[in-house]
Structure 1
Amino acid sequence: MIEMTTSVWATGQQPSRIQRRGRYLPASMKHPAKMLPAIAAQVIATYTRPGDLVIDPMCGIGTTLVEAVHQDRHAAGVELEARWADLAVANLAHARRAGAAGFGRVVTGDARRIAQLLPDLHGKAGLVLTSPPYGLATHGHVRSTRDTGQPGVRKWNHHYTDRADRANLAYRRLPGLLDGFSRILAGSIRMLRPGGVVAVTARPYRNRGELIDLPGQIITLGRRAGLEFADRIVCLLCGLGDGTLLNRASFFQLHEARRGWTHGRPIHAIAHEDLLVFRKPPDGRPPARHPGTVPGHPALHRSAPETATSADGPADFA
């Protein structure tokens, strides 16, 4: 059984760049949508034990994997874009040089085919931890007129590598994103041992002013996939000061909120992510499939050949 944990986690006490300093390679900051290391670390500490296997089907630069190996867990990840997969491997190697005891592996490929990409790990994972993309709603790095003295706003590191790749869920509208994520969930369930945990971080986002309840949609997808919904935890992105909240909101979050108030809409900058915790049924019964999804459909396009790489670790975590 999964026991209920504290409902609010103070995971934003330090900014992302401070959490990563020295623990990740500097190039990691170029990814447009990174999981906060403190969130990954607390999820892993809460729901796994040393020696367990942790899998991230959309691992990006490898935040989940790095935090797992630092806690003496083993880790495997799938990443669509070779650029980020290579960086995840480099971050794992960096962690090993820093004394991390766990081993890690990264496969370049489409996470909707995770069961085919990691065939030797079926039924072995104690935890699947991941976060879906937020479409084009990535902020990247920003410099405003106040910072540069030049007119206008300059953005960089706010796109994934190939905007033409339709396999990249970051460039799909909400129905396509949800369909793709349901396939990823279905494949990930096959990687879990009975009673294993799926943890997903997500937050609502705005599309043309409309608030999209992505966490609520993911809860529905998880239940349809046959997972048992176990917990919902608030992971703070802001810091907790002495009787105050320390703002960590991005330039565009604040800009959107101010613009909303100007037009009479009480919009607030989001200061947390929802951690949605599911459990695979412990009796081993096969999970129900989401209607209309075909996990591992052979027609899915991939932007690069699937290749397996690792960071100084064995191929088998059993």
Structure 2
Amino acid sequence: MPKNVVCPASVWATGQRSPRQHIADRLVGATRSETALTPAIAGWIIETYTDPGAIVCDPNPGPGLVLAEAVRAGRHALALATQPRWESALEANLDLARLAGSAGHATLLDSIDDPRAADLPGAVDLMLTGLRHTPTSEPSRVLVGLYEDLTAVADWVWPGGHIVITCRPWRRRGRLLDLPGKIHDAAEAVGLVPADHCIALTAPMHGHQLRPRHISRTGHRPESTDLHGQPTAHPTHIDVLIFRAPTTAPDPNTTTTEVA
């Protein structure tokens, strides 16, 4: 059953340790290219929205950061097959989580048609995924991929259960994209109900001040400059969009929002 959640604060202090340091302590090095989530943020979300023994699903697991954190937290991780380039990192991260003495386990489905998926509708307590992108990614393709992932597994979540999607700020050709707004549109098109929008910090707080970390060798990256080629501040947060699975079946006559 979905956990009865006390509404969390809107800003989460999840950046006291750098993502690189946190990954070095619990995940393989290849996970450093995972940009949509950090171990601290994934762990915060899992602890906030589920109880031990719950099922946590990531339909697009990448190097398995969400799955490993779910297993470490004593939850049962579930995912569709990852891309071939991530397979070895995913297996290694799960091995590290198991070696840590975790009580959870992981199930990797071959596809949406895997026979083991037959009993999943209504069985998942939390769906958690991060929207990955690179400076050369095409926004429309990334968002269509998210829509397809949500369409495939949204009905696996308990009615009223939580679907959480994270993304880091995306600057393309010098302009900051409204990625949270586009994610909101994709989720609503699948029938999900908006519940909250939180900010998870990736930089530490000292007193009441946020201290951005120095990031070296970013001056020539497209995401580090504005329209005029001037350096921009490195992002200090990840957006966390929280939705609920509908408690009633969607009306087939309802017009859905086009994802673009």
* Aligned equivalent of 2:102, options 67, 90, 100: 100
Report the Cα offset of residue 105 of structure 1.
2.0
Q: Which residue of 2 is the match for residue 127 of structure 1? A: 126
Q: Which residue of 1 is the match for residue 28 of structure 2? A: 25
User: Which string of whole-angstrom CA distances, capped at 9 and with x for unpartnered residues, describes residues 19-75 of structure 1?
Assistant: 12332234433x353620000000001111111100001111111111111111100
Gaps of 5+ in 2: none
Equivalent residues of 2:225, 2:231 under 8 A apart: no
Report the Cα offset of residue 121 of structure 1.
2.2
Report the Cα offset of residue 276 of structure 1.
0.2
State the SS of the aligned residue for 1:122: coil
User: Which string of whole-angstrom CA distances, capped at 9 and with x for unpartnered residues, describes residues 202-255 of structure 1?
Assistant: 133111112211111101111221111001110001111245433236446666
In the alignment, the residues of structure 2 paired with residue 196 and residue 267 of structure 1 have an alpha-carbon distance, to the nearest angstrom, of 38
Q: Which residue of 1 is the match for residue 189 of structure 2? A: 224
Report the Cα offset of residue 102 of structure 1.
0.3
Q: Is 1:269 equivalent to 2:234 in the alignment?
A: yes
Equivalent residues of 1:58, 1:80 under 8 A apart: yes
Change (3 A) 1:177 1:83: closer
In the alignment, the residues of structure 2 paired with residue 117 and residue 250 of structure 1 have an alpha-carbon distance, to the nearest angstrom, of 44
In the alignment, the residues of structure 2 paired with residue 95 and residue 264 of structure 1 have an alpha-carbon distance, to the nearest angstrom, of 43
Report the Cα offset of residue 18 of structure 1.
1.5
In the alignment, the residues of structure 2 paired with residue 91 and residue 260 of structure 1 have an alpha-carbon distance, to the nearest angstrom, of 36
1:18 maps to amino acid: Q
State the SS of the aligned residue for 2:26: coil
State the SS of the aligned residue for 1:229: strand
Q: Which residue of 2 is the match for residue 137 of structure 1? A: 135
Q: TM-score if structure 1 supplies the norm length?
A: 0.70
State the SS of the aligned residue for 1:51: coil
State the SS of the aligned residue for 2:125: strand
Equivalent residues of 2:12, 2:200 under 8 A apart: yes
State the SS of the aligned residue for 1:130: strand
In the alignment, the residues of structure 2 paired with residue 26 and residue 90 of structure 1 have an alpha-carbon distance, to the nearest angstrom, of 10
Change (3 A) 1:26 1:269: closer
* Aligned equivalent of 2:18, options 4, 15, 19: 15
Q: Which residue of 2 is the match for residue 176 of structure 1? A: 141
Q: Is 1:192 equivalent to 2:157 in the alignment?
A: yes
Equivalent residues of 2:5, 2:48 under 8 A apart: no
Q: How many residues align?
A: 253
Q: TM-score if structure 2 supplies the norm length?
A: 0.84
Equivalent residues of 2:37, 2:238 under 8 A apart: no
In the alignment, the residues of structure 2 paired with residue 196 and residue 117 of structure 1 have an alpha-carbon distance, to the nearest angstrom, of 21
Q: Which residue of 2 is the match for residue 162 of structure 1? A: none
2:123 maps to amino acid: K
In the alignment, the residues of structure 1 paired with residue 190 and residue 115 of structure 2 have an alpha-carbon distance, to the nearest angstrom, of 18
Q: Which residue of 2 is the match for residue 81 of structure 1? A: 83
Structure ID, larger Rg = 1
Q: Which moved more, 1:76-85 or 1:230-239?
A: 76-85
Equivalent residues of 1:89, 1:106 under 8 A apart: no
1:38 maps to amino acid: A
Change (3 A) 1:12 1:287: farther
Q: Which residue of 1 is the match for residue 61 of structure 2? A: 59
Equivalent residues of 1:57, 1:130 under 8 A apart: yes
Equivalent residues of 1:115, 1:187 under 8 A apart: no
Q: Which residue of 1 is the match for residue 39 of structure 2? A: 37
Equivalent residues of 1:197, 1:280 under 8 A apart: yes
Change (3 A) 1:53 1:259: closer
In the alignment, the residues of structure 1 paired with residue 245 and residue 135 of structure 2 have an alpha-carbon distance, to the nearest angstrom, of 31
Equivalent residues of 1:34, 1:60 under 8 A apart: no
Q: CA RMSD in A?
A: 3.0
1:5 maps to amino acid: P
